[in-house]
């Protein structure tokens, strides 16, 4: 076991600089060290046997090649020592890998009881994170050195939450809750990816994880939660527009995305899919947020999810004020 540990640690030294390895960014969670150790052990074993097999094969090809005048010898039928060797050594290796892999899997699936809980909603194609008092953000903010438990679900298809720096990846499935946990060990900003192909903008389904230094997470949460009181309605609306996923499908610069651009539409008439038209006013915006299928703009698919129960009245009002501010030139 000591020899295996040394082999694993040697490969860590070989593969890992201060900013992470060739394979992974720097590990900044409590489990990263264990995941990397096992990964590097498996890598070292694979490289060792790959080189051994290729070397022996090359040697044999040259040494036992067919020569003029020499007939082929009969193949050996049995070699007990050789067969025991190639059975026992791999059994020991896979048992060691299983032991550390299973232990790590159990540790990574069981969150500590005092973990801070954050709800995660995935939908095509953005992430939203709901904090204990109901504040929702598009970034995952967490305190350093404290276990955080994620309770995750999806509004549409299967997504997968992946934070390479924490070495965690977990599928997010519609109709059920999946869980993941981690404890970040370094303040900073890290990338969060969707790791399950979920359609057109899968590769753009990104978020930032912000690990706050001791004491600063609570200050951030307090300040962020009060944005409706501290910001003007237009600014609050802009923030909601970005944070709640609107901008994934609606541009504000006139470009058509999955949904129509919202530049300069407020107060103007819009043609609808059924051939009629509607003037974009407060009531139409509110209806479209709560009942997106009611009046779909011509030329677009009815794919918008409802925000019924997910946006408060004051938040819808702020979004309306923001849309009014997008006057545009037409
Ligand atoms: Cu969500 Cu890929």
- Model pLDDT, residue 71: 80
37 pLDDT exceeds 80? yes
83 pLDDT exceeds 60? yes
* Residue 199 alpha carbon, nearest atom of ligand 1: 2
- Model pLDDT, residue 15: 47
Band of residue 19 on the pLDDT scale cut at 50, 70, 90: low
- Model pLDDT, residue 16: 46
Q: Quick one: what percent of the chain has pLDDT higher than 90?
A: 56
176 pLDDT exceeds 60? yes
What average pLDDT does range 210-217 have in this prediction?
94
* Ligand 1 first shell, C-beta below 6 A: 122, 125, 159, 194, 196-198, 202, 205
What average pLDDT does range 278-292 have in this prediction?
91
What average pLDDT does range 59-67 have in this prediction?
90
What average pLDDT does range 275-300 have in this prediction?
91
* Residue 125 alpha carbon, nearest atom of ligand 1: 1
What average pLDDT does range 128-139 have in this prediction?
89
pTM summary value: 0.70
State the chain's mean pLDDT as an integer.
88
* Residue 122 alpha carbon, nearest atom of ligand 1: 1
* Calpha distance 106→112 (Å, rounded): 12
Ligand 1 geometric centre to CA of 191 (Å): 14
Per-residue 3-state assignment (H helix, E strand, C coil) for 227-245: HHHHCCHHHHHHHHHHHCC
> Is the pLDDT higher at 5 or at 114?
114
Orientation angle between helical segments 282-290 and 313-325, nearest 10 degrees: 130
CB 199 within 8 A of CB 125: yes
Extract the tokens encoding 267: 């107060």
* Residue 203 alpha carbon, nearest atom of ligand 1: 2
Ligand 1 geometric centre to CA of 159 (Å): 4
- Model pLDDT, residue 75: 82
* Residue 195 alpha carbon, nearest atom of ligand 1: 2
3-state DSSP: the chain helix, strand, coil percent, rounded to 5? Answer: 40, 20, 40
Ligand 1 geometric centre to CA of 124 (Å): 7
Band of residue 217 on the pLDDT scale cut at 50, 70, 90: very high
Ligand 1 geometric centre to CA of 172 (Å): 9
Ligand 1 geometric centre to CA of 203 (Å): 7
298 pLDDT exceeds 50? yes
Task: Supply the DSSP string of 174-230, one letter for each residue.
Answer: BTS-EEEEEEB-S-EEEEEEE-S--STTGGG--EEEEEEPTTHHHHHHHHHHTHHHH
Ligand 1 geometric centre to CA of 152 (Å): 13
Question: Of all protein residues, whose CA lies closest to atom 1 belonging to ligand 1?
Answer: 159
Beta bridge partners of 121: 128, 153
What average pLDDT does range 259-264 have in this prediction?
89
Ligand 1 geometric centre to CA of 55 (Å): 43
13 pLDDT exceeds 60? no
56 pLDDT exceeds 80? yes
Band of residue 246 on the pLDDT scale cut at 50, 70, 90: confident
């Amino acid at each position: 076991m000591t020899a295996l540990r040394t082999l694993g640690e040697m490969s860590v030294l070989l593969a890992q600089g201060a900013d992470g390895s060739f394979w992974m960014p720097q590990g900044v969670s409590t489990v990263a060290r264990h995941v990397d150790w096992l990964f590097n052990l498996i890598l070292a074993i694979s490289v060792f046997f790959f080189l051994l097999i290729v070397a022996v094969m090359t040697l044999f090809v040259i040494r036992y090649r067919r020569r003029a005048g020499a007939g082929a010898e009969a193949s050996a039928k049995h070699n007990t020592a050789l067969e025991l060797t190639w059975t026992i050594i791999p059994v020991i290796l896979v048992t060691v890998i299983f032991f550390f892999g299973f232990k790590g899997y159990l540790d990574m699936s069981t969150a500590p009881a005092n973990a801070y809980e954050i709800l995660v909603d995935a939908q095509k194609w953005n992430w939203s994170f709901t904090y204990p008092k109901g504040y929702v953000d598009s970034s995952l903010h967490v305190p350093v050195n404290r276990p955080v438990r994620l309770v995750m679900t999806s509004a549409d298809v299967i997504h997968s939450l992946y934070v390479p720096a924490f070495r965690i990846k977990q599928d997010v499935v519609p109709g059920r809750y999946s869980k993941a946990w981690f404890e970040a060990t370094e303040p900073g900003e890290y990338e969060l990816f969707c790791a399950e192909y979920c359609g057109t903008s899968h590769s753009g389904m990104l978020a930032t994880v912000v690990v706050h230094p001791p004491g600063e997470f609570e200050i951030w949460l307090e300040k962020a939660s009060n944005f409706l009181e501290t910001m003007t309605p237009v600014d609050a609306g802009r923030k909601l527009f970005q944070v709640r996923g609107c901008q994934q499908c609606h541009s504000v610069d006139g470009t058509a995305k999955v949904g129509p651009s919202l530049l300069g539409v407020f107060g103007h008439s819009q043609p609808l899919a059924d051939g009629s038209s509607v003037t974009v006013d407060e009531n139409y915006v509110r209806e479209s947020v709560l009942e997106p299928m009611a009046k779909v703009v011509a030329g677009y698919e009815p794919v918008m999810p409802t925000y019924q129960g997910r946006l408060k009245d004051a938040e819808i009002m702020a979004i309306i004020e923001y849309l009014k501010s997008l006057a545009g030139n037409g």
